[in-house]
Structure 1
Amino acid sequence: MTEAPQVPASVPLAHTLRFDNRFVQALPGDPEAGARRRQVEGALWSPVLPTPVASPRLLAYSAEMADALGFDADTVASPEFAAVFGGNALVPDMKPYASNYGGHQFGHWAGQLGDGRAITLGEGLAADGRRWELQLKGAGPTPYSRTADGRAVLRSSVREFLCSEAMHHLGVPTTRALSLVGTGDAVMRDMFYDGNAAPEPGAIVCRVAPSFIRFGHFELPFARGDVALLQQLVDFTIARDFPHLAGEGEALYGAWFAEVCTRTAVMVAGWMRVGFVHGVMNTDNMSILGLTIDYGPYGWVDDFDPDWTPNTTDAQGRRYRFGWQPRVAHWNLGRLAQALAPLFGDVAPLQAGLDAYAETYARLDRETIAAKLGLPDCRDDDVERMQRLHGLLQAGEVDMTLFFRGLADLDTAAPSLDVVADAFYDAAKRTHVQGEFDAWLAGYAGRFQETGETGDTRRNRMHTANPRFVMRNYLAQQAIDRAEAGNPSGIVELLDVMRRPYDEQPGRDAFAGKRPDWARTKAGCSMLSCSS
């Protein structure tokens, strides 16, 4: 593996983080370095360097994430920053690697997968003591790239960069994004998998998280019968990422698995609250920390439809459709439990963790119902009330985000569907469901009046649960179109809007509208492929 150029120690970027690289220091690595495609046995990572690009240029960055890492504005604007986060240079003490994991994809075991286009630069501590792993997505081939080139195109990179930060500001657990760097290189991609590959501008996202360990990291050693490696990884993960857990042996492992389950429930409940659909809930895309990870063909529900998936690959089976996300997460946790079973003499602790997921999600679902409807609590009849509303929203082709935001302004003394008129996509369908909606609104208004609370209390509660702005696919595509034409300002503007998704933000109504008709079938605005 050729020596990588180093950023001079005199540059501020070189001493902002203290890299300790615990993952590679504590866990067995691949004795072979470099990007030759291979099966990697008995190791959890492979040393590999990013492949340099023609002309790295910073297109956008997250000021919040830069601040958390200790990078000031001058550092971010420096050529060294673009060089490091474009894959052309390293900071001293960085130890680049790609990690080794497997996974279940669309319900089937896929064997070794690994970081096929992601390379971790290093893992370090910021000044406040928080641990961050810096990972470049699209930085070139690794041993796990199989037949791919390890690169990413601008369109998918823009979407990942924006959505990582948008989810954070929505209050949903997520990995983060530091920077978006254009590479100056063209990348060949067959966007629709129809045999018409074409060159597209390349880009690299630096994504950031305390850990990128996935369910699949544990599944692969289990599948290979390597129990010693499995246990070593579990012990490491608990010690580094769950240091608050006490105990030892099976009791500690059981407590850890239960926390993984409850964190996953919190994440999925957040998705359901804001209308996010991940699109590719394979076990290799499930974070052990309960963070949303791997933003590929994701989407936000526009007109409410629990059967909608944004992923063209999933168009027939719809395994990862919106309404199935809670049960798919449970299934994925079941695969993790299966992988961990060799460490337990009795499966009872694993079953207890799965039960904790179900109980936590059920509790959070009720809390979500109360918050989205502006109620102080959720009774059994409120669960039924929300189920009836979901049926009406689907039958009436109603925009989920606009409806719940508009419902906060309902006059409960004289309820009228006019308050959410702009949430309907089809006037004829509104007419069809008008009578049922009027009855629902009357019942809802009566339920709220029983609480004895003021309308302001209800509105404030609803405004904290129901965003005004979400990262709709068509908004991202508009920013992508401008960036591909050489103007990245749309990315910066959209990121700024998504920093305050629950605020009204006067003058930015254009970012809060429902999906326009032209976006129903336009590429990138409705369903998306995994191509990136």
Structure 2
Amino acid sequence: MDTADTLRFDNRLIQRLPGDPEPSNQRREVRGAAWSAVMPTPVTAPSTLAVWPEVADLLGLPAGFVDSVDFAEVFAGNALLQGMQPWAANYGGHQFGRWAGQLGDGRAISLGELVAADGRHWELQLKGAGPTPYSRGADGRAVLRSSIREFLCSEAMHHLGVPTTRALSLVGSGEGVLRDMFYDGHPDIEPGAIVCRVAPSFLRFGSFELPASRGEQELLQQMADTCIARDFPELQGSGEALLGDWFGQIAVRSAEMVAHWMRVGFVHGVMNTDNMSVLGLTIDYGPYGWVEDYDPDWTPNTTDAQGRRYRFGTQPQVVFWNLTRLAQALAPLFADVQPLQAGLDAFQATLAACTRRDVAAKLGLSAADAADLQLHQRWQQLMQDGAMDMTLAYRALIGLDVASPDPAVLDGVFYDPARQAAVREPLLQWLHDYATRLRADPLEAAERIARMTRANPLYVLRNWLAQEAIERASEGDMGGVRALQEVLRDPYTERAGLEHYAGRRPAWADHKAGCSMLSCSS
């Protein structure tokens, strides 16, 4: 692997935090340790199915290495580059509102922390590379369909401007994986695959919850100190003041992240505390989805179909609830909880500011006040009552004639003619009020259009589009994945010939598996 011999790994996390002294890869409870050393399990016939070249460039991977057989060997887990020291992280979490105890990286194995040429650090993590001490009864593998979804969505979110982990590669294992996709007692063999995902850190809220739940205060302090030094080097000070500033930064970044989710219509689907990044990155792409016919109560997760805890409209409240759990975990490090309360207050203030910012941008206003927020709420209710496609409805507003607003500009966004007819009169009134507001705004028309175009994507990774690519890939044709890569690189610019990727959900996808709601099966 001579073409990659210039890469440097420093693996700061495992150098600074205590590891599991037990070397065996047996499922077990791991106490007093932040990680366990574990090797990926080799696969029989690794092959590179897809790569995001911009991520390879970000990491400084030589082109010759990316195009080589060695690349597939490394990012399938069959081989290591010099300096890699694989590990699986130990963490806990609240799942669907209940404490679940130890969870950990059950099918994720970090290869090492790469130091890029610009000095930035990137943790390279394989998802689906075999069992770890945290796998419980699972096999540590991932199937092609879920791996494609994570591979595509990580970069789709990045190009939308949403804070996220990144994706480098999608490697086929050449092996089958047994999965019960519908949890109905009928498992099937599916093709396996491994994603390499990339982030400055994969530390989660649950990374701190677990030692706190066990009374391991020394480890909790070490975790906090290491996270600040490694991931928040801009923070200065010491003691509780530094810890308070750190928690405040986590809260602010989390608010910015979820505000972007709401802006683009993304629904995470499994917002457990073990799926919350302390860097405010979108992490762990499972049964996610984009809102199509606008419904704040929609969730893409079949496991959450009854309670709908993680539905679209409640995502900001869930992030706040999760932050409260993190604050409780960190409380033993504080003599006074006021800095933690200040962080929670910062979340609320940041979320409110982000909401005003995004409403103004999506509606093409120079700024949004309370009256504008009410105008926007009326629009959201019309989208829901009229069964409008969220992405297409906002884009359609860009073409509104402000001098003579005509509802015909929205004709292509409705899913149900009867519901379209039912909202005709209130929609006419709203368009009149909106046009009046635009005429009073100081933004020039060209600036308004440009601002709306930057805030309202046209191309998003709808589940049915991902499913089309998955079905082609399952037959050995990666053309659908490659086509989506090209589309999703530039989600805001309308391009000729891409009408299929900017269309409403077709009727065939209304109830097709993988096209609307999804299970956590992977």
Using the size of structure 2 for normalisation, the TM-score is: 0.99
Taking only aligned residues, the RMSD between alpha carbons, in angstroms, comes to: 0.7
Which residue of 2 is the match for residue 229 of structure 1?
219
Which residue of 1 is the match for residue 460 of structure 2?
470
Which residue of 1 is the match for residue 360 of structure 2?
370
1:13 aligns with 2:13: no
The CA distance in 1 between the partners of 2:146 and 2:5, in whole Å, is 29
Which residue of 2 is the match for residue 209 of structure 1?
199
Q: 2:229 aligns with which of 239, 244, 268?
A: 239
Q: Say whether the 8 Å CA contact 1:104–1:283 is kept in structure 2.
A: yes
**1:437 CA drift (Å):** 0.3
Q: 1:150 aligns with which of 122, 132, 140?
A: 140
Q: 1:31 aligns with which of 21, 24, 29?
A: 21
Which residue of 2 is the match for residue 250 of structure 1?
240
Code of the residue aligned with 1:377 in structure 2: it is A
Which residue of 2 is the match for residue 511 of structure 1?
501
Q: Say whether the 8 Å CA contact 2:4–2:62 is kept in structure 1.
A: no
Code of the residue aligned with 1:247 in structure 2: it is G
Unmatched segments (≥5 aa) in structure 2 = none
Question: For each residue in 1:258-312, what CA deviation from the matched residue of structure 2 results, as whole angstroms up to 9, or x when unmatched?
Answer: 0000000000000000000000000000000000000000000000000000000
Code of the residue aligned with 1:316 in structure 2: it is Q
Which residue of 1 is the match for residue 90 of structure 2?
100
Q: Equivalences for 1:20-59 in 2 at 5 Å?
A: 20-59=10-49
Question: For each residue in 1:511-531, what CA deviation from the matched residue of structure 2 results, as whole angstroms up to 9, or x when unmatched?
Answer: 111111110100000000000
Which residue of 2 is the match for residue 66 of structure 1?
56
**1:75 CA drift (Å):** 1.6
1:389 aligns with 2:379: yes
The CA distance in 2 between the partners of 1:259 and 1:233, in whole Å, is 16
Q: Say whether the 8 Å CA contact 1:34–1:49 is kept in structure 2.
A: no
1:182 aligns with 2:193: no
Q: Say whether the 8 Å CA contact 2:41–2:129 is kept in structure 1.
A: yes
Code of the residue aligned with 1:293 in structure 2: it is I
Q: Say whether the 8 Å CA contact 2:324–2:344 is kept in structure 1.
A: yes
Code of the residue aligned with 1:314 in structure 2: it is D
Q: Equivalences for 1:266-415 in 2 at 5 Å?
A: 266-415=256-405
Identity of aligned residues (%): 64
Q: Say whether the 8 Å CA contact 1:133–1:210 is kept in structure 2.
A: yes
Q: Say whether the 8 Å CA contact 2:357–2:368 is kept in structure 1.
A: yes
SS in 2 for 1:269: helix
Which residue of 1 is the match for residue 189 of structure 2?
199
Question: For each residue in 1:317-341, what CA deviation from the matched residue of structure 2 results, as whole angstroms up to 9, or x when unmatched?
Answer: 0000000000000000000000000
SS in 1 for 2:423: helix
Q: Say whether the 8 Å CA contact 1:13–1:81 is kept in structure 2.
A: no
Code of the residue aligned with 1:243 in structure 2: it is P
Q: 1:500 aligns with which of 474, 486, 490?
A: 490
Question: For each residue in 1:164-202, what CA deviation from the matched residue of structure 2 results, as whole angstroms up to 9, or x when unmatched?
Answer: 000000000000000000000000000000000000000
SS in 2 for 1:110: strand
- Matched pairs, number: 522
Residues 1:380 and 1:77: Cα distance change in structure 2 (over 3 Å) = same
The CA distance in 2 between the partners of 1:379 and 1:219, in whole Å, is 38
Code of the residue aligned with 1:313 in structure 2: it is T
Code of the residue aligned with 1:416 in structure 2: it is D
The CA distance in 1 between the partners of 2:250 and 2:104, in whole Å, is 21
1:439 aligns with 2:439: no
The CA distance in 2 between the partners of 1:433 and 1:149, in whole Å, is 51
The CA distance in 1 between the partners of 2:23 and 2:122, in whole Å, is 24
Q: Say whether the 8 Å CA contact 2:3–2:64 is kept in structure 1.
A: no
Q: Say whether the 8 Å CA contact 1:275–1:301 is kept in structure 2.
A: yes
Q: 2:473 aligns with which of 466, 483, 496?
A: 483
**1:453 CA drift (Å):** 3.2
The CA distance in 2 between the partners of 1:73 and 1:393, in whole Å, is 47
The CA distance in 2 between the partners of 1:280 and 1:209, in whole Å, is 19
Using the size of structure 1 for normalisation, the TM-score is: 0.97
Which residue of 2 is the match for residue 3 of structure 1?
none
The CA distance in 2 between the partners of 1:294 and 1:34, in whole Å, is 26
The CA distance in 1 between the partners of 2:482 and 2:57, in whole Å, is 17
Q: Say whether the 8 Å CA contact 1:34–1:142 is kept in structure 2.
A: no
Runs of 4+ in 1 over 3 A off after TM superposition: none
The CA distance in 2 between the partners of 1:463 and 1:151, in whole Å, is 40
**1:452 CA drift (Å):** 4.2
The CA distance in 2 between the partners of 1:220 and 1:14, in whole Å, is 37
**1:34 CA drift (Å):** 3.4
SS in 1 for 2:429: helix
SS in 2 for 1:206: strand
Which residue of 2 is the match for residue 429 of structure 1?
419
